[in-house]
Amino acid sequence: MNEILVVDDNRTMLMFMERVLSKRGFKVTTANDGTQALHVLEECPDIQFVLSDWMMPEMDGIELCRRLKSGNYSRYIFFVLLSGKDDQESIISGINAGADDFVVKDTHVDEIAARIKAGFRTLALHNEITTKNEQLDSAYAIMKKDLESAGDMLKRLLPAERKLSGVEISYVSIPSAQIGGDMLGYMQLDEDNVGFYLLDVAGHGVSSALMSFSVQQSIAVNSGKGSIVKSSIDQPPYYQITQPSSVLKQLNDLYLSDDHNLLYFTMVYSVLNAKTGEMKFSIAGHPPLVWLHAATGEAEFIGQDSFVVGAFDFVDYQTASLQLEPGDKIWIYSDGITEAEKGTEQFSEEGFRQTVMDIKDHPTTVQTEMLVNRVRDWQRCEQFDDDVSVLVVEWTGYSEGEQACNTKFSTRVNAQFFK
């Protein structure tokens, strides 16, 4: 039953309104003034409709309306102001106080009842929307918790601290939301060779994160028939390391888009021989590498013209080779860092290269964090609009003294993950 609180200091008016509204199917509760009305509403939480006189002692209808319509009140109240005045100034005052409707006392009771019914329809719609919003909030809270859990899982997929002979590695990975589409990693392929990669799935959100997770799992298998980074051969050592271009080709075949899946990704995959310093790499539509030369302190771009992974079935990728000198560093990054914006200006690949040279004298273990903080300071904002990933690999050189303990890798690795 629709419940109404009628507020009026005139007892005769209260009795009249209670009788005529009850006959029309409303459940009526009464109060003598605004103060009593607030008490009744506190005791009767189901009442959401108030029909109140304007002029009353203690607390008039205007003040009662203001309190019920304030943001601090516990629930939504549909408020109809009842007045003996029928002038524009009175109507404006009532509406400004927050009244939903304004009725003159000498209005025919059937019209008053009709307006009340219209008010209850509005109230029902409001309550329905409120309920749906609460359901959406609850669903969003569950989704947010699930996304945070997924983000934590993806975070755990990033490399933990490991010792890699002749190599020092540091990285930063910052998703733009709870989960992102960037993924990076490195792995010891054998006692001499280290594989490392960085990929950036187009778009954001769950679908991009799922693809980055899937690609990471495809690369993580580094032995047996399911491996794309190593293959079996008949002669000792009974395996061979897959060329970087072939790794990208196999990934392209695995993740080729169709009408139902339009995702693709850019990627760099590299293999560094930690004994000789030779680095083989292949790039798929990704920003160029930055090669910092220890001898000169200069940094240069190393890139390839190539297609992204997963978009076309006809592509081939190329394997290139670099000969590093001890202390040389290779920087790999996603475009979220170079496309960071300040107004209409982007940080840019050139800005990245210059920053790499600026921070070259600091320990490798802190350089990725320093670079990201430099971009944050430049854009004057802590947050990034896109996922940001930065990986730096330094070849420290290989000493013959390590020959006898190749299975005990000895170089520091630093990994930073920021939310």
Q: Is residue 316 part of a domain?
A: yes
Q: Is residue 37 part of a domain?
A: yes
- Asked if 207 and 350 sit in the same domain, the reply is yes
Residue 342: CB atoms within 10 Å: 12
**Separation of alpha carbons 388 and 352, rounded Å:** 13
- Asked if 58 and 169 sit in the same domain, the reply is no
- Asked if 163 and 124 sit in the same domain, the reply is no
Q: Is residue 210 part of a domain?
A: yes
Q: What is the pLDDT of residues 170-221, one digit of tens each?
A: 999 988 876 778 999 999 999 999 999 999 998 777 888 888 889 998 998 8
Q: Is residue 222 part of a domain?
A: yes
- Asked if 247 and 113 sit in the same domain, the reply is no
- Asked if 116 and 27 sit in the same domain, the reply is yes
Residue 94's pLDDT is what? 77
pLDDT of 151 strictly over 90: no
- Asked if 277 and 182 sit in the same domain, the reply is yes
pLDDT of 289 strictly over 90: yes
Total count of domains within the chain? 2
Q: Which amino acid is at 307?
A: F
**Separation of alpha carbons 193 and 242, rounded Å:** 11
Q: Note the pTM of the prediction, 2 decimals.
A: 0.69
Q: What is the mean pLDDT of the chain?
A: 87
Q: What is the pLDDT of residues 70-115, one digit of tens each?
A: 888 889 999 998 887 766 777 777 778 888 998 888 888 889 899 9
Considering 61, 96, 131, which residue would you say is the last residue of a domain?
A: 131
- Asked if 244 and 126 sit in the same domain, the reply is no
Considering 94, 113, 131, which residue would you say is the last residue of a domain?
A: 131
Q: Is residue 144 part of a domain?
A: no
Q: Is residue 141 part of a domain?
A: no
- Asked if 115 and 215 sit in the same domain, the reply is no
Q: Is residue 337 part of a domain?
A: yes
Beta strands in 235-307 (DSSP E): 239-241, 265-273, 278-284, 289-292, 299-302
pLDDT of 148 strictly over 50: yes
Burial class (CB in 10 A: 0-12, 13-18, 19+), 310: buried
> Among the listed ranges 61-75, 144-158, 224-238, 281-295, which one has the minimum average pLDDT value?
144-158
In terms of residue numbers, what domain contains 78?
3-131
CATH number of the domain residue 243 falls in: 3.60.40.10
Higher local confidence (pLDDT), 372 or 163: 372
**Separation of alpha carbons 363 and 372, rounded Å:** 15
CB < 8 Å & 24+ apart, contacts of 144-148 = 144/178, 147/177, 147/178, 147/179, 147/206, 148/178
Residue 140's pLDDT is what? 76
- Asked if 186 and 123 sit in the same domain, the reply is no
List, in sequence order, every residue forming a beta bridge with 291; answer none if it has no partner: 300, 330
Q: How far is CA 59 from CA 13, 45, 52, 92, 333, in A?
A: 18, 21, 11, 19, 67
**Separation of alpha carbons 171 and 415, rounded Å:** 5
- Asked if 307 and 379 sit in the same domain, the reply is yes
Four-residue CA torsion sign, 416, 204, 284, 229:
positive
- Asked if 48 and 172 sit in the same domain, the reply is no
CATH number of the domain residue 90 falls in: 3.40.50.2300
Q: Is residue 136 part of a domain?
A: no
Residue 170's pLDDT is what? 92
Contact assessment for residue 261 and residue 191, using Cβ atoms and an 8 Å cutoff:
no
Question: What is the percentage of the chain residues whose pLDDT exceeds 70?
Answer: 89
Considering 114, 131, 148, which residue would you say is the last residue of a domain?
A: 131
- Asked if 104 and 174 sit in the same domain, the reply is no
